[in-house]
Amino acid sequence: MSAAAAKATAAVPSIPRDDDGPVFRAPWEAQAFAMALTLHERGVFTWTEWAAALAEEIKRAQAAGDPDTGETYYLHWLATLESLVATKGVTSTETLHRYRDAWDHAADRTPHGQPIVLQAEDFAR
Amino acid sequence: MSSDHDHHHHHDHSELSETELRVRALESILTEKGYVDPAALDAIIQAFETRIGLHHGARVVAKAWTDPTFKEALLEDGSKAIGTLGHVSRVGDHLVVVENTPERHNMVVCTLCSCYPWEMLGLPPVWYKAAPYRSRAVKDPRGVLADFGVTVPKDTEIRVWDSTAETRFLVLPMRPEGTEGWSEAQLAELVTRDSMIGTGFAKTPEAPS
């Protein structure tokens, strides 16, 4: 495990892990983890800020009926990323939605088996 | 994670789950704004390569090698048979297990969307996602296998399977010789990811690495 990842797991005790470090259920979870690691290294937030925002997100989800079985942990992680980048002025919720729709469009027009690449036309809708 | 598991059942184009769309949206924005470098991100993810997914594939293969009834059920209906093991929450709707024999070697090509059975195998290797691998694997499977240092006997047929959003494939490699009487746990150690994609063989007892 890298020093950065070790620091993150130490600062955010809720991260699912085993003796050797964090574990992920799916590739996208590792992607979301890696993005938080990178943003932290860029100084966008401290781990203390992150842990507080994540705890807030989990509390909100539980209040809304999240079963909290651990399966949804990285969904909360992703939601925290989305809200923190908006609060920190990195981007806006509107932009996130626009790019999400653009990726959806890109997947739709990409023949099965080809790499999915975002293009300008995907935004023109 | 139910939203992550909904497929729209289209055959002709790519699929990304709602969660994958959000992750990709975030990544492209952060990349465009210079906050992340996709290569650096990939490097972090690759460092966790062995820690993504549940890696049940090797156990399933080892069980099939030792339990003929399970093997028969597995080849009949992969998802159903794996479901009976109890510890796999989800392996996709249609996981098809194809058996390697002296007569036929199976190899799976990916489709770059959500078709790779990572619940069974962990993270896909980077080369597996590359367009050249996929197109070459279909045209020249023997050449691709040679690149991996894998030689399949001339009279063995090579069958290439193309995953779709609905059907994903797992190769049941041949049980290595010299493993008579081995336990399931011992056998599972010999099952590599590449052997379950068909770009390798299971390890042999003489050459443990």
Chain B residue with CA closest to A104: the answer is B21
Mean pLDDT of chain A: 88
- Any A CB within 8 A of B150 CB: no
Q: Are residues B32 and B73 in the same domain?
A: no
Q: Are residues B190 and B116 in the same domain?
A: yes
For residue A121, which amino acid is it?
E
Q: Which residues in chain A have Cβ-Cβ distances shorter than 8 Å to B111?
A: 112-113
| Both tokens assigned to B17 | 């789950």
Give the separation between CA B104 and CA A79, rounded to whole angstroms.
47
Give the residue, A78 or B133, on which the prediction is more confident: A78
Q: What letter would DSSP give residue A14?
A: T
Contact A26, B52 (CB under 8 A): yes
Query: How many domains does one find in chain B?
Result: 2
The confidence band for B22, taking pLDDT boundaries of 50, 70 and 90, is very high
Residue A59, phi then psi, degrees to nearest 5: -60, -45
Q: Are residues B39 and B104 in the same domain?
A: no
Among B47, B68, B87, the domain-final residue is: B47
pLDDT at B88: 52
Q: Are residues B80 and B34 in the same domain?
A: no
Cβ-nearest to A91 among B19, B33, B44: B33
| Both tokens assigned to B59 | 């156990």
Q: What letter would DSSP give residue A44?
A: S
Cα–Cα nearest to B108, from B143, B155, B151, B159: B159
Q: Which residues in chain A have Cβ-Cβ distances shorter than 8 Å to B4?
A: 26, 28
Mutate to test the interface with B, among A17, A19, A20, A28 (most CBs of B within 10 A): A28
Residue B167, phi then psi, degrees to nearest 5: -125, 125
pLDDT at B19: 93
- Which residues of B are catalytic, by number? 110, 113-115
For the segment B37-57, the average pLDDT, to the nearest whole number, is 79
For the segment B11-25, the average pLDDT, to the nearest whole number, is 84
Q: Which helix (H) or strand (E) holds B87?
A: none
Q: Are residues B62 and B43 in the same domain?
A: no
Chain A residue with CA closest to B118: the answer is A26
Number of A to B CB contacts under 8 A, please give it. Answer: 155
For the segment B62-79, the average pLDDT, to the nearest whole number, is 95
- Any A CB within 8 A of B129 CB: yes
What three-state secondary structure class fits B99?
strand
Give contacts of B 178-207 with A, CB under 8 A.
Answer: none
CB contact under 8 A, B25 and A5: no
Cα–Cα nearest to B48, from A77, A33, A81, A50: A33
Q: Are residues B31 and B130 in the same domain?
A: no
- Any A CB within 8 A of B39 CB: no
Q: What is the DSSP string of B103-159?
A: SEEEEEE--SSS-S-HHHH-SPPHHHHSHHHHHHHHH-HHHHHHHTT----TTSEEE
Domain that residue B37 falls in: 15-47
Give the separation between CA A117 and CA B76, rounded to whole angstroms.
37
Q: Are residues B71 and B163 in the same domain?
A: yes
Side-chain half-sphere of A15: how many Cα atoms within 13 Å? 28
Q: Are residues B132 and B185 in the same domain?
A: yes
Q: Are residues B38 and B19 in the same domain?
A: yes
Q: Are residues B28 and B125 in the same domain?
A: no
Residues A94-118 pLDDT 10s: 999 999 999 999 989 987 767 788 9
pLDDT at A12: 87
Give the separation between CA B115 and CA B14, rounded to whole angstroms.
10
Q: Are residues B38 and B109 in the same domain?
A: no
For the segment B111-126, the average pLDDT, to the nearest whole number, is 64
CB contact under 8 A, A103 and B28: yes
pLDDT at B209: 47
| Domain contains B114 | yes
Cβ-nearest to A37 among B13, B44, B165: B44
Cα–Cα nearest to B199, from B124, B117, B65, B108: B108
What three-state secondary structure class fits A64?
coil
Give the separation between CA B119 and CA B57, rounded to whole angstroms.
8
Give contacts of A 51-110 with B, CB under 8 A.
Answer: 71-72, 75, 78, 81-82, 85, 90-91, 95-97, 99-100, 102-104, 107-110
Q: Calculate Rg over the CA atoms of chain B.
A: 18
Mean pLDDT of chain B: 82
A25-29, A45-49, B8-12, B195-199: segment of lowest average pLDDT = B8-12
Give contacts of A 1-40 with B, CB under 8 A.
Answer: 1-2, 5, 20-35, 37-39
Cβ-nearest to A27 among B14, B109, B118: B118
| Domain contains B208 | no
Side-chain half-sphere of A87: how many Cα atoms within 13 Å? 11
Residue B182, phi then psi, degrees to nearest 5: -70, 150
Separation in Å, CA of B53 to nearest CA in chain A: 5
